[in-house]
Structure 1
Amino acid sequence: MKKSTTPFYDILGISSATICLVHCLVFPLLTILPIGLSHNPFIDLIFAVMGLFAIFKIINKSSLLISTILVISMALIWISVLSELFLEIHLDLIFIGGIGMIIGHFLNYKNHKQS
């Protein structure tokens, strides 16, 4: 088994994925209120870049299962973000990817604590 990485990147990944998931769930509700908010897909892009940075630091040093969960989750997030940026199509894959990122980082964090 490969040695786990530092918990800093797991905490960064868990935090960014959780904030992104909350953003994706709450923000559509806020847009129906008459306060002038509109959705900006570049915010999703910022969260995706933060998550990508975190998993690049983690996947080389984590187990195959954790690496697979993180890579598949990140791919789902990027597919959703890029389809929204370029095609203006909102896919719900971002929710599945966000949950997968939280689970993958949490598993890696727990694995690191046990080592």
Structure 2
Amino acid sequence: MKKITTPFYDFLGMSTAALCLMHCLIFPLLTILPLGLNHDPVIDLVFASIGSFAIFKIIKKSSVLVSTILLVSMSLIWISILGEMLFDIHVDFIYFGGIGMIIGHLLNYKLHKKQHH
């Protein structure tokens, strides 16, 4: 059985964070159109779950800097999602968390690539 590599998890994390960030930025614009769309925090929860899976696979083999960026970013995302689901308040931490996730995964990918070349 083939072992899944760290670059795969970096790609999974980066793409999930990018899709989540696009969803968070574009969806509010779509709600002003009369399309009958409502925001569902379950979608955010799915993105956060996939992202959490990816970072927990990565942080075991990452530098302290990358691990810290990813964990802080994911914490911001979870705080924002849980705040919305439990208390019906919107916290903009999710945007910073998404950007941090992309940066953390890109940094980890570059560091990992540098170590193996």
TM bracket (short chain): over 0.9
Count of residues in Structure 1 that have an aligned counterpart in Structure 2: 111
Q: Name the structure 1 match of 2:29.
A: 29
The CA deviation at 1:64 is 0.2
Unaligned runs of 5+ in 2: none
Q: What's the TM-score, normalizing by structure 1?
A: 0.95
Give the AA of the match of 1:66: V
Identity between Structure 1 and Structure 2 (%): 68
Higher relative contact order, structure no. (Cα contacts within 8 Å, ≥ 6 residues apart) = 1
Aligned to 2:34, the other structure's residue is in SS state coil
Map residues 10-21 of structure 1 onto 2, 5 A cutoff. Answer: 10-21=10-21
Cα deviations across residues 55-103 of structure 1 (Å, max 9, x unaligned)? 0000111000000000000000000000011111110000000000000
C-alpha contact (below 8 Å) 2:6/2:57 kept by paired residues: no
Q: Name the structure 2 match of 1:59.
A: 59
The RMSD of aligned alpha carbons is 0.7
Q: What's the TM-score, normalizing by structure 2?
A: 0.93
Aligned to 2:18, the other structure's residue is in SS state helix
> Aligned partners of 1:111, 1:70: CA distance in 2, in Å?
14
Cα deviations across residues 15-66 of structure 1 (Å, max 9, x unaligned)? 0000000000000000010010000000000000000000000011100000
